[in-house]
Amino acid sequence: MARNTEKRQTGRKAQKRSTNKQHKFLFVVGGVMSGVGKGVASSSIAKILQARGLTVTAIKIDPYINVDAGTMNPTEHGEVFVLGGGLETDQDMGNYERFLGTDIPDINYMTTGSVYQEVIRKERNLEYDGKNVEVVPHIPLQVIKRIKKAAQVANADVTIIEIGGTVGEYQNILFLEAVRMMKTKTPDDVAVVMVSYLPVPGSIGEMKTKPTQTAARTLNSAGVFADFILARGPVALDKKRKEKIAQFCNVEPQNVISAPDVASVYDVPLNFEKDKLSERICNVLNIKKIQKSDLSAWRRFVAKSKNGHDTVKIAVVGKYFNSGDFILSDVYLSVLEAIKYSAYKLGLKPDIHYISSLPFEDKKKLKELKQYDGILIPGGFGTTGILGKLNVVKYARENKIPYFGICYGMQLAVLEYAKNKLRMKNVSTTEIDPSAQHLVIDIMPEQKEKVAKSDMGGTMRLGEYPAVLKRGSIARKAYGADEISERHRHRYEVNPEYVEKLSAGGLVFSGTSPDERLMEIVELPKDIHPFFVGAQFHPEFHARPLSPHPLFTAFVKASYEGK
Ligand code: GLN
């Protein structure tokens, strides 16, 4: 908690430091349907503006009543991305951080719930001077206040604001009202991009513009007019349809941008620049002084991502993959991206398989794991799929397959070791069996009170905390540093009462909190196992295309070397 307060103060100081620069705002809204890559489009626009020498930040607005994304089931909503300040947010925040290569503060994420919560708090605190507090204008005004504050904290030339959902939904109308109000007040400082979708129905084989026209009209009915239309679709937009959209949607033809499906999301900024999008946005926003675009480092990364020589085959064993008849890989998005960046850095082609832990409850199935060069168990909650995961850890440990456990994956590695290697009886974690005699993973004392009060939202150990690394360890070697800072999201931890016993039994706690109370990294010595490492934190939240995460790189390297 103390650290979070510190963060907030840093935010306030940054605010004071902010110059009186002219902040510009670019809203990104969705038309036609969701899931067409609005987050990637927003991140890519942020990237190309940054490449022009501008200071850019990005905000995500989610129209849910949930105050943050922490209470949402990942199969409903995708990955919960934890910011350095500790806020549990939408995975798009991860895209912004990865594309921009910067940390983004908590203020840049808002939901309907968090906006209402703040307005109600202010009303209770008599901050509205006895006025009627109304949905309009007070909710949009609060939204605008948050947006402007974020721009100030980042000292941003341009702030990109992605509004979740699709125009025409009841849910985001108050956010569109905020756009309308801002645009009316400062028309030169606000622009709107509508990310639309142009289907090519199989039966006719022709790209249809009508849904986009309808979406533009729906947006207009909220008093908001798009300056740009990004035409997402299975193929590129042709000239004829570009002109049609321009005419019917009241947008300049050169501001209708073709955005066909691409093999890699990292191509998107480069494709946008083929249409000179950054220049056009700067024109519309009246940004005069811009540098020549420099995307050279990005271009090198994209080239590397396509030139891998050998393959490295990694299994990510989780439980949040199934949604009806579909497989969801979004749930572990940051983990998957982190593996890719490290593989690219090593000149390798990542071949990542998402597999459910459930079938591995049957030990006969474990043989199937032989085909993988490395096994990763990411974070998770609850008891479903645990038996399977424990069997997988045992298999990886005994068969010397490189293993990387993240958060729950680390806790299960400790449990598996205690159970199978140290042959401890009646051993478990509090999360699985609180009545077990030896709880090698236990609830943190601070968390105990919260759980007792059924106050579960936003109560885990969240955000960045420092850790010190043990000399000579795999972790120390990977990081090349004695002290690190990583993001956390957990309620349980290695029980300090068992640290001595586990250490005597061969587990190395190579990363601890500076006061040595919390075990942050566990590993087996290299002469026992080529790579058996668990991290209580989530390194994936720090992995960036242009700076892959050292622990992931060490894992992928060990996996490849053991092939
Ligand atoms: N369920 C575990 C805990 O709360 C691990 C959390 C995680 O993997 N993010 O500590």
Ligand 1 centroid vs 78 CA: distance in angstroms?
16
pLDDT of the residue at 3: 40
Q: Ligand 1 in contact with 380 (CB < 6 A)?
A: yes
Task: Report the predicted TM-score, pTM, of the whole model to 2 decimal places.
Answer: 0.92
Q: Ligand 1 in contact with 337 (CB < 6 A)?
A: no
Decide if 191 contacts 285 (C-beta within 8 A): yes
β-pairing verdict for 80-82 and 190-197: unpaired
End-to-end CA, the chain: 44
Nearest Cα residue to 299 out of 280, 271, 278: 271
Q: Among 412, 428, 489, 536, which is best to mutate for testing ligand 1, by the most ligand atoms less than 8 A from CB?
A: 489
Q: Among 431, 488, 519, 520, which is best to mutate for testing ligand 1, by the most ligand atoms less than 8 A from CB?
A: 431
pLDDT of the residue at 161: 98
Taking the C-alpha atoms of residue 322 and residue 318, their distance in angstroms, rounded to an integer, is 10
List, by residue range, all CATH 3.40.50.300 domains of the chain: 21-299
Ligand 1 centroid vs 199 CA: distance in angstroms?
40
Decide if 25 contacts 147 (C-beta within 8 A): yes
Q: Ligand 1 in contact with 407 (CB < 6 A)?
A: yes
- Using the atom order of ligand 1, give the atom closest to the CA of residue 492: 10
Ligand 1 centroid vs 10 CA: distance in angstroms?
28
Taking the C-alpha atoms of residue 259 and residue 272, their distance in angstroms, rounded to an integer, is 8
Q: Ligand 1 in contact with 550 (CB < 6 A)?
A: no
Q: Exactly one of 97, 488, 540, 542 is catalytic; which is it?
A: 540
Q: Exactly one of 529, 538, 542, 549 is catalytic; which is it?
A: 538
Q: Exactly one of 79, 249, 337, 407 is catalytic; which is it?
A: 407
Ligand 1 centroid vs 492 CA: distance in angstroms?
6
Query: What single-letter DSSP state applies at residue 90?
Result: E
Q: Ligand 1 in contact with 280 (CB < 6 A)?
A: no
**Residue 540 is among the residues annotated as catalytic for this protein:** yes
Decide if 69 contacts 187 (C-beta within 8 A): no
List, by residue range, all CATH 3.40.50.880 domains of the chain: 308-561
Residue type, 79: E
Q: Ligand 1 in contact with 431 (CB < 6 A)?
A: yes
Ligand 1 centroid vs 502 CA: distance in angstroms?
20
**Residue 361 is among the residues annotated as catalytic for this protein:** no
Residue type, 510: S
**Residue 353 is among the residues annotated as catalytic for this protein:** no
- Closest residue to atom 8 of ligand 1, CA basis: 379
Edge to edge, what strands does the sheet with 348-356 contain?
Answer: 348-356, 310-318, 374-377, 403-406, 532-535, 519-523, 508-512, 461-469, 483-490
Ligand 1 centroid vs 380 CA: distance in angstroms?
6
Nearest Cα residue to 264 out of 323, 342, 340: 340
Q: Ligand 1 in contact with 492 (CB < 6 A)?
A: yes
Question: In 10 A of CB 262, how many CB atoms?
Answer: 13
Taking the C-alpha atoms of residue 206 and residue 56, their distance in angstroms, rounded to an integer, is 38
- Closest residue to atom 5 of ligand 1, CA basis: 408
If phi > 0 it is left, if psi is from -120 to 50 it is alpha, else beta; for residue 355 that is: beta
b/e burial code for range 75-111 (CB count within 10 A of at least 16 → b): eebbbbbbbbbbbbbbbbbbbbbbbbebebbbbbbbb
Q: Ligand 1 in contact with 88 (CB < 6 A)?
A: no
Ligand 1 centroid vs 202 CA: distance in angstroms?
44
According to DSSP, the residues that pair with 439 across neighbouring strands are: 428
Taking the C-alpha atoms of residue 182 and residue 186, their distance in angstroms, rounded to an integer, is 6
Give 21-299's CATH code, choosing from 3.40.50.2300, 3.40.50.300, 1.10.3720.10, 3.40.630.10. Answer: 3.40.50.300
Ligand 1 centroid vs 40 CA: distance in angstroms?
28
CATH architecture of 308-561: 3-Layer(aba) Sandwich (3.40)
Q: Among 442, 461, 492, 541, which is best to mutate for testing ligand 1, by the most ligand atoms less than 8 A from CB?
A: 492
Ligand 1 centroid vs 35 CA: distance in angstroms?
28
Ligand 1 centroid vs 378 CA: distance in angstroms?
10
- Tens of pLDDT along the chain (563 residues) come to 334 433 433 444 444 455 567 899 999 999 988 778 899 999 999 999 999 999 999 999 999 999 988 888 777 778 899 999 999 999 999 999 999 999 999 999 999 999 999 999 999 999 999 999 999 999 999 999 999 999 999 999 999 999 998 988 899 999 999 999 999 999 999 999 999 999 988 888 888 989 999 999 999 999 999 999 999 999 889 899 999 999 998 999 999 999 888 889 999 999 999 989 999 999 999 998 889 999 999 999 999 999 988 999 999 998 765 555 555 667 899 999 999 999 999 999 999 999 999 999 999 999 999 999 999 999 998 888 899 999 999 999 999 999 999 999 999 999 999 999 999 999 999 999 999 999 999 987 766 766 666 655 556 899 999 999 999 999 999 999 999 999 999 999 999 999 999 999 999 999 999 999 999 999 999 999 999 999 999 999 999 999 999 999 999 999 999 87
Q: Among 408, 410, 487, which is best to mutate for testing ligand 1, by the most ligand atoms less than 8 A from CB?
A: 408
Distance of CA 463 to the CA centre of its chain: 13
Taking the C-alpha atoms of residue 392 and residue 420, their distance in angstroms, rounded to an integer, is 12
Q: Ligand 1 in contact with 381 (CB < 6 A)?
A: yes
- Closest residue to atom 9 of ligand 1, CA basis: 379
- Using the atom order of ligand 1, give the atom closest to the CA of residue 378: 8
Taking the C-alpha atoms of residue 492 and residue 508, their distance in angstroms, rounded to an integer, is 19
Q: Among 317, 407, 446, 536, which is best to mutate for testing ligand 1, by the most ligand atoms less than 8 A from CB?
A: 407
Taking the C-alpha atoms of residue 446 and residue 491, their distance in angstroms, rounded to an integer, is 9
